[in-house]
Amino acid sequence: MTSKRVSKNVSEIMAAILLTLIAVSLGAVFLLNYLEQSRRQEQVLEGLVDRMADLAAEPLFDILYTYYNTTPGQERLEMAIYVGPGVLEVVGIYVNDTLVWNTGDPNAYVNGTLVTGALLLGGEAIYNLTIAGPLPLAAGDTFVLKVAISTGTQETALGEAH
């Protein structure tokens, strides 16, 4: 009889130890999963904060209007661009996805003044930008204007040839 009692006590102790080990193992798995999820969320939040800082540093700009003058001898692309605080460098202007102006081209005017180097628009203001020269547009044609700046940001607007 004593051998039955000893084995019954041993099996109860073993069962208690096994249940405790299972509970500790499950707790460890849940804790590790929680810590991993927390680390991922922290990385995502850090990425969002970095992106927000990058966006805050980018200059704000918007194309207010644009049109193309088709009068022979006076062909030119006109646009009004609002620039917020900061300095904006225009690196390319496209009409219907065709490059019509690039940094250094001698046909850009800002508020009537010829631009000979980089096209920099600084300070909060509305700038009148003119690109002189013929484009393959006829009176009544609509076009998509795209202005690209040095940070890689692009702004688009719909215009019409007159």
Query: Using 50, 70 and 90 to split pLDDT, how confident is the model at 53?
Result: confident
End-to-end, the C-alpha distance of the chain in Å comes to: 111
Give the domain CATH number at 65: 2.60.40
pLDDT value of position 30: 94
pLDDT at residue 160 tops 70:
yes
Model pTM above 0.75? no
Q: Are 24 and 86 in the same domain?
A: no
Residue with tokens 């088709």: 70
Q: Are 35 and 84 in the same domain?
A: no
Q: Dump pLDDT digits (tens) for 104-132.
A: 888 999 999 999 888 999 888 999 999 99
pLDDT value of position 7: 62
Instruction: Write out the H or E segment, with its range, that includes residue 110.
Output: strand 108-110
Which of 36, 57, 78 represents a domain boundary (last residue)?
57
Q: Are 66 and 10 in the same domain?
A: no
Average pLDDT estimate for 131-139: 92
Q: Are 91 and 142 in the same domain?
A: yes
Domain that holds residue 81: 61-161
**Are β-strands 108-110 and 76-83 bridged in parallel, bridged antiparallel, or unpaired?**
unpaired
Looking at the structure of the chain, the number of domains it has is 2
